[in-house]
Amino acid sequence: MTAVDAAPLWAVGTYADGHGRPAPWEISHDEINRDIGVATTVLTQLGVVGRRVLWCSMLSQAGQHWPYVCGTVLAGAKLSCADSTFGEAMRVSMFLRLMDYDAVLGVTNDLLDGLDASGRAPADVFAGVRVLGAYPGAYERLAAAGLTPTRVALCGPAIAIGREPAGPAFVPAAEWELVDLGDRVGITALQPRATSFIRTPIAVRGTIVDGGIVPVSA
């Protein structure tokens, strides 16, 4: 799908290109509004309605995460946010100590390092979390700790989220398509966007399964 004239923009975000380098990503109001609708559906299907959801992310990823942040509220769930860094392990464990969360999405290696450094075992911190979405690396560590994480992967300008533990992670099918470029993964936008994505190489590595991705840690 080709780029559209979208000024003024909603934001300029960033995504990791095929070499893992940050690339600027112009985002229109139309596409973010569309993405919010799609994200609301994804979260509703995950069953978080009426429950608490903690998103771990970075502001530079807001182009990818904002639809899900809004979608959490629009789906009728309660939203909390933390950065996905070493230092924010303190905040993540505080939230989970004080309240019950149905879903924690976006767990990273850095967060788990922070939990380790503060002597908090992930199996204790995340006990009772029904949907524990983790990026490559963190996913494997949580599984090794006896938890049943769900796969989450940043696929360039989109987020892929698993529908069940051990299954592949999916980008919203109405908006994006993951493509196998041989030695790497690419992404194509299926709807008009301010930035053109046509088989654009992205940083995530893994295998495409049933249209989703089973990512591997770097």
Partner 1 sequence: MTAIPAADSKFFNADVETMSRADLEALQLERLLEVIPFAYERAPLIREAWEAAKVHPRDIRTLADFRERVPFIDKDAVRRFRDERGDPYGGLLCVDPDDLTGVGSTSGTTGDPTLVPEMWGGAGLSSPSIITRDLWGWGVRPGDYVMLVLFTFRGPTYGLFQHSLQTTPILFDFDPAEMERFCELSLRYRPTAVYNFGSVLINAVKDVCDRRGFDPRDVFSSYVGVTFAGEPLSPRARALAESWGVPLYEHGNVGDVTGSFECVARDGLHAWEDTVIVEGIDEDADGRCELVATALNNRISPLLRFRSDDIVRLSTDTCACGRTHVRMWPVGRKSDEVLVDGLSVLPLDVWGAVESVDACAMGLFQIVRTAREVDRLRLRVGYAPDWSARLDGVRDGVQAAVLAATGTEPEVELVPNEALLRLGPPHKIPRVAKS
Q: Which is nearer to partner 1, 9 or 216 (CB)?
A: 9
* Other Cβ atoms within 10 Å of 54 Cβ, number: 24
Q: Is 3 in the site for partner 1 (CB under 8 A)?
A: no
The answer for residues whose C-beta is within 8 angstroms of residue 193's C-beta and 6 or more apart is 1, 3, 4, 6, 27, 28, 31
Q: Identify the three-state secondary structure at position 17.
A: strand
Q: Is 85 in the site for partner 1 (CB under 8 A)?
A: yes
Least Å from the CB of residue 81 to partner 1: 5
Per CB under 8 A, the list member of 3, 4, 9, 36 interacting with partner 1 is 9
Interface size with partner 1, residues (CB under 8 A): 42
Per CB under 8 A, the list member of 2, 8, 119, 144 interacting with partner 1 is 8
Q: Are strands 52-57 and 22-28 parallel, antiparallel or unpaired?
A: unpaired
In the numeric block, the tokens 């892929």 are attached to: 160
Q: Is 179 in the site for partner 1 (CB under 8 A)?
A: no
**Residues 25, 23: Cα–Cα separation, whole Å:** 6
Q: Identify the three-state secondary structure at position 108.
A: coil
Q: Which is nearer to partner 1, 80 or 148 (CB)?
A: 80
Q: Which residues bind partner 1 (CB under 8 A)?
A: 8-14, 22, 24, 29, 52, 55, 57-63, 65-66, 69-70, 72-73, 78-83, 85-88, 90-91, 94-95, 98-99, 114
